[in-house]
Amino acid sequence: MTFHARNAATGETLPGEYHDAPIAEIDRVCSAAGEVAPEFAVLAPERRAALLEAIADGLGAASENILARAHLETGLPLPRLQGECGRTQLQLRQMAALVRDGSWVDARIDTAQPDRKPAPRPDLRRLLRGLGPVAVFGASNFPLAYSVAGGDTASALAAGCPVVVKAHPAHPGTSDLTAEVIHAAVARCGLPAGVFGMVHGAAPEVSLGVVRHPAIAAVGFTGSLRAGRALFDAAAARPVPIPVFAEMGSVNPVFVLPEALRERGAAIADGLVASFTLGMGQFCTKPGLVFGLASPEWDAFGAAVAAKAQAVAAAPMLHAGIAENFARGCRELAGVEWLATGTARVARVEGAAFLARPELTHEIFGPYTLLVTVRDTAQMLTLAGALEGQLTATMHGTDVDFAGAAALFDILPRRAGRVICNGFPTGVEVVAAMTHGGPYPACTDARFTAVGSAGILRWARPVSYQGYPDAHLPEELRDANPRGLLRLIDGKLTREPVMSARSV
């Protein structure tokens, strides 16, 4: 089957024809990744860093074309896309720095104890190395930062894993232009072409074909619960199961505590509307659920949110499917009171009714949020405790509020990957301390993050070397520590060389 890209604003067909990759093409691309994987896994870190930087440079040089096409395909405004392109380059450069620094391999050395009784202890050294080819499924809402050259690709390449991207069918032209940049960077760095491959596909069979290919060793996905779970199930059912990190969105609950509501309800209302309508609400961290105690201030808050939301200007959504799902999702919500029904939608419901209707906790992707009027603190805690896994959870409160909200401080970190005080969940910083992930259904494996330097850990496994001759050890583990890494030697973190006797 062939398909075309569409102008997100007008629905018109854009130039370019794309086809669902047939099984032979999937096999060719995945096999090529598998063939180069051993070599790429042990490539000098400096060369992997150079590749990541070459991709970042290439994106910068080609950004005018890429952004123009992305603007047409996604309807996202150019300034937003410029920011996203900067973020994409930042992610690649941060991963390059991580690889160049090298300490991410978590090198551990336990030196030999030749005189230990009853048996000598051998020399043991371990580090992390890449799992093998990673299949990356980009998100429609981040055509650059979580797509072809996005965070999953950057972290996988950094870990020493070749990447096979299944391009998102909503921005195939942007994907092709980005893939060209990566192909050129791979060639310029003198690396084999199999280090990066891409296939197109609008049919689920293409995605499943990639996940089931025996050369694929892990999967990174950003998108819907339905699609993410389908890939997870396919990966788990393989003869050789493989890990799947699927980030599948969230409703990102916000709790507005009473004193904060009284003291700065208007400011919180402003911030909330800005957050849930940002980019037409098409963020997985969009706050889609807001809890507050029944009170005149809460009524005023609802009115302020509604007024602000009603004034939000129309803008195209990412693609027709998302626009349709958004309209249907809002249309089908029963038993809620609508406060704003323009471009941005705000509904309200009582806590008891909310508790009785689990479908109200489902994500509606787009500029929509639901205000839940809570009877009392006890009911707020009940509602918090009943939440499914979330990417984020947020509290707005004063010191007095927080002093009385100890239970929320207990509950929310159990339900979410990131808990926020007096802020908003949109805006995911690319830093070491970021967790972008969380308990299911936010994510298929809460032990990892999609954003920040720890994202590399999704694609690596430990290997231990016992009694190895120094010359045959990976450089990171050699006595002399030629890379100057921070290593855990006999329980102490140090950049010193190994001084002890090796063999037993």
Pick from 332, 384, 341: nearest CA to 360? 332
482 counts as binding a second copy under rule CB under 8 A: no
Q: Which stretch binds a second copy (CB under 8 A): 118-126, 178-186, 187-195, 208-216?
A: 118-126
Size of the site for a second copy (CB under 8 A): 73
Map the footprint of a second copy across residues 140-179, applying CB under 8 A: none
Map the footprint of a second copy across residues 23-52, applying CB under 8 A: 38, 41-42
C-alpha 1 chain-centroid distance: 30
Count of alpha carbons within 13 Å of 499, Cβ hemisphere only? Answer: 4
Torsion of CA 14, 15, 21, 27, to 10 degrees: -130
Which residue in the set 181, 344, 434, 498 belongs to the binding site for a second copy (CB under 8 A)?
Answer: 434
Which residue in the set 413, 482, 484, 497 belongs to the binding site for a second copy (CB under 8 A)?
Answer: 413
Active-site amino acid positions: 247, 284
Q: Are strands 345-350 and 416-421 parallel, antiparallel or unpaired?
A: unpaired
Which residue in the set 11, 12, 61, 121 belongs to the binding site for a second copy (CB under 8 A)?
Answer: 121
109 counts as binding a second copy under rule CB under 8 A: yes
Contacts of residue 55, defined as CB under 8 A and 6 or more positions apart, other chains included, come to 92, 149, 154, 157, 181, 182, 185
Task: Map 427-456 to HEC letters.
Answer: CCCCCCCCCCCCCCCCECCCCCCCCCHHHH
DSSP secondary structure of 208-266: HHHHH-TT--EEEEES-HHHHHHHHHHHHTSSS---EEEE-----EEEE-HHHHHHHHH
In the bound state with a second copy, the residue whose beta carbon lies nearer, of 16 and 467, is: 467
418 counts as binding a second copy under rule CB under 8 A: yes
- Find tokens 């300034």 and name the residue: 79
Write down the H helix ranges in 333-460. 351-356, 377-385, 399-403, 406-415
Token pair of 504, please? 């037993």
Q: Which stretch binds a second copy (CB under 8 A): 143-151, 322-330, 360-368, 407-415?
A: 407-415
| Least distance from a second copy to the Cβ atom of residue 503, Å | 8
Please answer whether residues 383 and 256 qualify as being in contact, where contact means their C-beta atoms are separated by less than 8 angstroms: no
In the bound state with a second copy, the residue whose beta carbon lies nearer, of 110 and 363, is: 110
Distance CA 4, CA 170 (A): 9
| Least distance from a second copy to the Cβ atom of residue 292, Å | 19
Which residue in the set 232, 301, 326, 354 belongs to the binding site for a second copy (CB under 8 A)?
Answer: 232
467 counts as binding a second copy under rule CB under 8 A: yes
461 counts as binding a second copy under rule CB under 8 A: yes
Distance CA 299, CA 297 (A): 5
Tell me, residue by residue from 361 to 390, as one string, x for binding to a second copy by CB under 8 A and - for no binding.
Answer: ----------------------------x-
Which residue in the set 126, 308, 345, 348 belongs to the binding site for a second copy (CB under 8 A)?
Answer: 126
| Least distance from a second copy to the Cβ atom of residue 345, Å | 26
| Least distance from a second copy to the Cβ atom of residue 460, Å | 7
In the bound state with a second copy, the residue whose beta carbon lies nearer, of 173 and 271, is: 271
